[in-house]
Amino acid sequence: MSAVCVGSIPAVSDHCRCWSTEFRHRCCVALVSVLTLAATLGSSVPQPFIGVAVDRYRLDWLAGAGVTLAGVGLGLSGLVHSYVAVWLLLCVSGLGVAMFHPAAGKSARMAAGDSATAMSIFAAGGSVGFFLAPVLATPALIAVGVGATALFIPPAVLMGFLLYRNRLRRPAARTISHSGRDRWVPFLVLTCIETVRSVAFFGAITFIELFWIRHLGAGKSLAGAALACFLVGGVAGTLLGGRIADRVGMVRTVQFGAIVAVPALVGLRLTPGEYPPLVFAVLAGIALNIPFAVLVKLGQDYLPTRPGTAAGVTLGLAVSIGGLLAPVLGVAAEAWGPQGVFTIICLIPLVALALGVFLTETQK
């Protein structure tokens, strides 16, 4: 949920009235930040533990339950007037996300086998969600108000039911092989790479509109188009990464993504004008997301006996940590503007490239 949408929740507005007009804006921003933190922590902290449980017990029903819980929690958050209730509901929604990733990641591993392309199709769903969520939610929220969050509930319940029914139809004998040796050192390196990648990704989606407005002097519509270009590139990069990995190997694909991200981000940062940088917004989205699904697949290969744990860390914890660290870039934005943030983001893939040297291919 965007800061604007959350800021219009009655519970937030009621709290803001407790301050004078001079501090009201800061009050709302702080309250919204706490709500965002609730959803992020609710999804990130439990995921490794849920992953361990998924690997130890038969909990494939968690994927459907997680989707339903995430949608219901978010849907109800716009209908209550207590700030504490909103906070708790967003935590519940985050917990639903935490339940989904390990179980769904384990199931995706079963379906994908050794195909990175198949895993990229699964991972691309999240990238599509990043793009479609504001496109679908914003008009409804403008037309109906924040109570339109209730519209998320029916599709969440429906998808949860479909996932649960599909689980019942799955052949019982189809299980994941628990053979092989878990390799924790390269997995930890991989987790660091995913964290670094997500810092760059969330930093870009957080500040790209401000970059267009304040640095390039564009209007809000064009700034929104820049964000859309970046997110569409992210979907394409996720799908492309899987195909590349199936041809040249997963480690090389992760390294390739870090290499091509640097010129794409530099082009975005330095290209003058309002429209030409849109090309680099697409290219940057592609480059930063090329390693995304590949890291999920490689993480499960490093931990062959713990696919749920691996998915919980790579899809959940590492990505969420990147999102939590992204606000640190706000300090740079205060000092040097959004252009300063993108200067820093240009350097972040070099850290991922250096860490990628320590990755090794797994034997099939």
- What are the pLDDT digits (tens) for 242-254? 999 999 999 999 9
pLDDT of residue 84: 87
| Between 16 and 226, the higher pLDDT residue | 226
pLDDT tops 80 at residue 273: yes
CA distances from 336 to 90, 301, 332 (A): 33, 42, 6
- The pLDDT mean for the chain works out to 84
Q: Extract long-range pairs of 93-96: CB within 8 Å, 24+ residues apart.
A: 93/39, 93/42, 93/69, 94/38, 94/39, 94/40, 94/41, 94/42, 94/43, 94/44, 94/70, 95/42, 95/43, 95/46, 95/69, 95/70, 96/65, 96/66, 96/67, 96/68, 96/69, 96/70, 96/71, 96/72
> Is 108 in contact with 119 (CB distance < 8 Å)?
yes
Tell me the CA distances in angstroms from 14 to 40, 102, 126, 146, 245, one per residue in order: 23, 37, 33, 14, 51
pLDDT digits (tens, 9 = 90+) for 13-69: 454 555 444 445 455 545 655 676 777 778 888 888 999 999 998 888 899 999 999
Q: Which of 158-162, 190-194, 214-218, 331-335 has the lowest mean pLDDT?
A: 331-335
Q: Which of 125, 120, 130 is nearest to 63 (CA)?
A: 125
Average pLDDT over residues 274-301: 95
Residue 170: what pLDDT? 58
Q: Which of 85-94, 121-130, 331-340 has the highest mean pLDDT?
A: 85-94
Please tell me the predicted confidence (pLDDT) of residue 20. 46
Segment among 46-60, 164-178, 327-341 with least mean pLDDT: 164-178
Query: What pTM was estimated for this model as a whole?
Result: 0.82
At 32 the pLDDT is 58
* pLDDT grade for 10, boundaries at 50, 70 and 90: low
Question: Which tokens belong to 115?
Answer: 């195909």
DSSP letter for each residue of 55-71: HHS--TTHHHHHHHHHH
**Average pLDDT of 277-288?**
96
pLDDT value of residue 107? 86
Average pLDDT over residues 63-84: 91
H helices of the chain, in order, are 3-7, 10-16, 21-44, 47-56, 62-77, 83-112, 116-144, 153-169, 184-210, 220-248, 250-270, 277-289, 292-302, 307-311, 318-325, 329-356
Neighbours of 269 (CB within 10 A): 21
Q: What is the DSSP track for 17-47?
A: TTS-HHHHHHHHHHHHHHHHHHHHHHHHTTH
For the residues 258-271, what does the mean pLDDT come to?
96
Most confident range (mean pLDDT) of 19-33, 176-190, 248-262, 320-334 is 248-262
Q: Worst-scoring range by mean pLDDT, 135-144, 194-203, 237-246, 310-319?
A: 135-144
In the chain, % of residues over pLDDT 90: 48
pLDDT of residue 30: 53
The whole-number average pLDDT for the span 116-142 is: 83
Look at 168 and 19; give whichever has higher pLDDT.
Answer: 168
